[in-house]
Amino acid sequence: MEYLTTVDWARAQFAMTAMFHWLFVPLTLGLSFLVAFFETIYVKTGNREWRRLTKFWMKLFAVNFAIGVATGIILEFEFGTNWSNYSWMVGDIFGAPLAVEGIFAFFIEATFFAVMFFGWNRVSKGFHLFSTWMVAVGSNLSALWILVANGWMQFPTGMAFNPETARFEMQNIWAVIFSPVAISKFTHATSSGFQLAALFVIGVSAWYLLRGRHEKMAVRSIVVAAVFGLLSSAFVIFTGDEAAFSVAHKQPLKLAAMEGLYRGMDGAPIVAMGVVNGLKKPGDGLDPFLLEVKVPGLLSLLANREAGSYVPGIDDLLFGNPEHQLVGVRERMARGKIALAGLAHYKLARKSGDKAGAAAALAAFNQYRDDLGYGHLADPRDAAPPVAPVFYSFHVMVVLGTLFPVLFLAVLAFACKGTLPSKRGLLRLSVASIFLGYVASQAGWIVAEMGRQPWAIQGLLPVDVARTDLTAGNVQATFFIFLFLFTTLLIAEIRIMLNQIQIGPEEA
């Protein structure tokens, strides 16, 4: 049982690190582009008020960027410390996009960041503007390669398992880069980051309007951010639909958990609101919800682009459904155990020089190699993600993501009319929306990562096999060290930002 405790602590530590890191990444992705837009307006108009405005938001971006880098570095080291088996088995594939991110994208980002932040009055306006845009491009290229790696974990492609080394090896890097899951994750994550940055700029600017300070700067910032937010919101909706369609076909158990769907059906509804039954288990007769409000046919439309189509539920995917040609996890577990046994016999036969035995064992392995990961599971129910956190996180994300464009439209309309400073209720809501934006962002991350449990690599490598050989005590100790460190960094960032916001753009 000790290794299970190690796995639990390793999962908790990685989840904590990722969630802290994700507090900084979305704002970096969006605010970098907003700063570039502000500076472009300054260069085009020559109005030094836009320069003041640009330098103010640039300082807030710099604080967020620096702390985001610190948490990101620790996150990558944890693959080697807490998930050493994972790193050994998939390092050839997973390491490639991370290496490109560090060598290429982060190099661009960091190099031009120095010019952007320290180059005022040292380089020409044109080159400084170019540097600002390159920081924005580099930041989002960094996200691209990281999300390509994460997308491969969700939908492994472009690789093959080598029975000689017991490792997954790269076969086609283009298949990894252009995986539909990787593309949908990148477009949806970056567009939601743009949306969060728009909320941040609008919220801070609304705070100034509530106090009657820097009103001209605040209104200008709100107008640009609201337009950016509206465009981003449209993209969030489009990419979210594409991401859900991709999940439906590549990770159907995740989709079933997102909607609390246990029994598949034709014309499956979406649960607009619901209270999950905490006692419900796969395969039992209990109702999945204590309370629910459904929209008929919408889940089928979302998953298959056809309102009356069949969407499998958790029970169908775990236990099989012959009527719809669905192979259950139980059958895949049996195949996976044959593959594992074949692999073990192959190694023994090769070691003893039994060529005929090695060939027979390899043939048995190759027959069921696609189900290799399922051979590590003890019960079909182990393949189901936790429904309640995935369901609630998904619905919180969707509801908030739908309300944000309404806020953008409202502040833009009143700003254009010149009446926004008098709409104090809307301004207070705008300030609060910063927090709501982070809630939606974190909820999306929970859906993406908890929805694929128990897999480190979807269908191929369970988390308890990907674990480290460290003791539970070692991982537990570093968990609390990192918790203290990240909390300190977060408090420091908030205090620095609040101090800079209190000072305002004059001394920026």
Q: Please state, as a whole number, how many other Cβ atoms lie within 10 Å of the Cβ of residue 1.
A: 6
DSSP string, 291-358: EEEEETTHHHHHHHS-TT-EE--HHHHHH-BGGGTBPPHHHHHHHHHHHHHHHHHHHHHHHHT-HHHH
Which two structure tokens, joined as six digits, stand for 158?
Answer: 């472009």
The pLDDT mean for the chain works out to 90
Which two structure tokens, joined as six digits, stand for 454?
Answer: 């128990």
CA gap 462, 430 in Å, rounded: 42
CA gap 435, 107 in Å, rounded: 31
CA gap 231, 233 in Å, rounded: 5
The model's confidence at residue 508, banded by pLDDT at 50, 70 and 90, is very low
Q: What pLDDT is attached to residue 234?
A: 94
Most confident of 34-48, 360-374, 476-490: 34-48
Cβ-in-10-Å burial (0-12, 13-18, 19+) of 469 comes to: exposed
Q: What pLDDT is attached to residue 1?
A: 41
For residue 87, is pLDDT > 90? no
Q: What pLDDT is attached to residue 400?
A: 94
The model's confidence at residue 309, banded by pLDDT at 50, 70 and 90, is very high
Which two structure tokens, joined as six digits, stand for 112?
Answer: 């031009």
For residues 203 and 162, is the Cβ–Cβ distance under 8 A? no
Which element (helix H / strand E) includes 475? helix 472-503
Name the more confident of 244 and 5.
Answer: 244
Amino acid at 80: G
Three-state secondary structure call for residue 272:
strand
CA gap 150, 247 in Å, rounded: 14
Q: In this predicted model, what pLDDT tens digit does every residue of 422-472 receive, in sequence order?
A: 999 999 999 999 999 999 999 999 999 999 989 989 988 898 888 887 788
For residue 131, is pLDDT > 90? yes
The model's confidence at residue 3, banded by pLDDT at 50, 70 and 90, is very low
Name the more confident of 70 and 188.
Answer: 188
- State the pTM of this model: 0.91
For 280: left if phi > 0, alpha if psi spans -120 to 50, otherwise beta; the answer is: beta
The residue ranges of every structural domain in the chain are 2-251+386-503, 260-324, 330-376
The model's confidence at residue 2, banded by pLDDT at 50, 70 and 90, is very low
For residue 182, is pLDDT > 70? yes
Q: In this predicted model, what pLDDT tens digit does every residue of 188-217 receive, in sequence order?
A: 999 999 999 999 999 999 999 999 889 899
For 194: left if phi > 0, alpha if psi spans -120 to 50, otherwise beta; the answer is: alpha
The model's confidence at residue 261, banded by pLDDT at 50, 70 and 90, is very high
Q: In this predicted model, what pLDDT tens digit does every residue of 335-378 receive, in sequence order?
A: 999 999 988 898 888 888 888 888 888 898 888 888 988 999 99
